[in-house]
Chain A
Amino acid sequence: MFIAAGVVLLLSVFSFYSVQYGWGEPYPFFHFKLYSRPEGMNGLANSVGIYVNDSTRVNSKQSNLYDTDEFNYALNSLIPGAQAGDPGAVNKLRLLVHSAYPGYPNYVIIEETYRAQAYVNHDYSFTKKVLLQLP
């Protein structure tokens, strides 16, 4: 009868310890850390832009293979490795960007920083910082 809720409880307790001991997470619902902390508490909000020749933003329009959410997550998971010079990550990043937005001569990955208060007031100005140049 109460097995259903009991299973959740048992798996949660197991997940709590298995993550601590580095065995991974068998039960994905326990560490349900969606918005467990607020974001952008330094008053800044970041997005990653793919640019051509430093000027034209490529990923403002919808890609056929990824929606904005999927593309941004995939991009952000690869950038740290690529910046550290891991050839596997660089190759994957190249494949990702080329498959999402094909047909451009070069791709520059740029971090755009918005100010939260300005964004609320419909002031969409941002500062640019070049993260990576992709062949």
Chain B
Amino acid sequence: MNVTGKYIYDHRTAQKMLLVFNICWLAYYSYQYATVLVNRPRELYEPLSWFGKLFIPVFPAPGFYFAVTICTLITTLAILFNVRYRLILRVMLVFGLLFINSVNWSYGYLSHVSHMMILANLLALFLPAGNNENQQQVMLSFKWYYAGILSTYSLSAYWKIREIADDLMHNNYSDSWLNLSATKNTVVCGYVWMEEPLPNVLARLLPFERCWLAAFIITTCIMLLAPLSALGQKYFRLMLAFLVLFHLSNTLLFRAEFFATPIMLVLFLIPYHAFIPERLQH
């Protein structure tokens, strides 16, 4: 197998791993529904997204919820085992994932948790199905696929830069991320919100204010350029490793907990061709 073939093999295996991960995700949220959501007062349920308002205006009964979950599970397995009508199955899968996600985030706030995972499944619609196509074309589809996923990070960086520009124009420097105490205040807010004491490591590190400001600026610039990294395989893997570290440090720093996203990034990062024996790769 040539180099491009190896990369394509990696990306295709990552797609299969993503589908396996979907099954774990479904299992987790089924457990969450059965043990937690059904016991909450029904009156507190209020959909916040257009999707929830349209399809799930009231709290879904267990029969309905689990019917959707089982359909989504069957759809995932069907895509995994290359059943025909892939396009329709993909649309059904995204619908199911959006459904389950909407139910979970209809209690006062719309969280960003699991959004990247739904996006990865949505954009997989546009990946070529078979292995018959020209190798370069398949590779190019994967590059655009990953560029699409990573563009969420550049949007997140874009809003930070825009707010900073806004602050500078209104001479509001003291409220912006460029203020030296910005990281410290945000970290403390995160810990107070989660009602946890500040770990000793952080208490020691936070006084290095210039380092935190530099780290913020570098991180924002890297995140803005994230989709470009998808064009080259080496930079792409470096970027994914950086983003995994970014999510882990955010969990420690701001108590912003994302589990599905870093796991998914790791699944995209693993060079499967190096681990799986060549005779099993076809």
Contact = CB atoms under 8 A, between A and B. Distances in A.
A26 interface: yes
Query: For the complex, would chain B's binding face be called helix, strand, loop or mixed by DSSP majority?
Result: helix
Given A4-B123, A114-B192, A120-B203, A37 B50 contact: no
Interface in A11-64: 12, 24-26, 28-41, 43, 45-47, 59-60, 64
A2 B128 CA distance: 12
A130 interface: no
B185 A38 contact: yes
B152 A32 contact: yes
A37 B50 CA distance: 26
Contacts of A83: none
Interface stretch (B71-79, B84-92, B139-147, B233-241): B139-147
Interface in A92-135: 92, 95-96, 99, 114, 116-117, 119-122, 124
Q: How large is the interface on B (under 10, 10 to 19, 20 to 34, 35 or more residues)?
A: 35 or more
Contacts of A33: 156, 159
A18 to B, nearest CB: 10
B211 to A, nearest CB: 15
A47 B144 contact: no
Interface string A49-84: 000000000011000111011101111111000000
Contact of B163 (A12, A37, A73, A122): A37
B188 interface: yes
B182 A38 contact: yes
B141 A1 contact: yes
A35 B40 contact: no
A9 B174 CA distance: 33
B194 A2 contact: no
Contact of A68 (B140, B151, B195): B195
Interface string B180-215: 011111101111111101100001001100000000
A9 B181 CA distance: 35
Given A5-B147, A116-B185, A120-B206, A34 B191 contact: no
B197 A92 contact: no
Q: Interface centre among A9, A33, A60, A119, by most B CB within 10 Å?
A: A119
Contact of B189 (A45, A68, A74): A45
Q: Interface centre among B109, B179, B195, by most A CB within 10 Å?
A: B195
Q: Interface centre among A4, A12, A33, A65, by most B CB within 10 Å?
A: A4
23 contacts: A1-B137, A2-B140, A5-B145, A5-B148, A8-B123, A32-B112, A32-B159, A36-B160, A36-B163, A38-B177, A45-B192, A46-B189, A65-B36, A68-B195, A69-B193, A69-B194, A69-B257, A74-B109, A76-B108, A95-B44, A99-B40, A116-B181, A119-B188
Interface of A: 1-9, 12, 24-26, 28-41, 43, 45-47, 59-60, 64-66, 68-70, 72-78, 91-92, 95-96, 99, 114, 116-117, 119-122, 124
Those 6 A-B pairs whose CB atoms lie nearest each other, nearest first: A77-B108, A74-B108, A38-B182, A73-B109, A40-B185, A36-B159
Given A30-B155, A38-B183, A41-B179, 6 more contacts: A5-B145, A35-B160, A45-B188, A92-B43, A116-B185, A122-B203
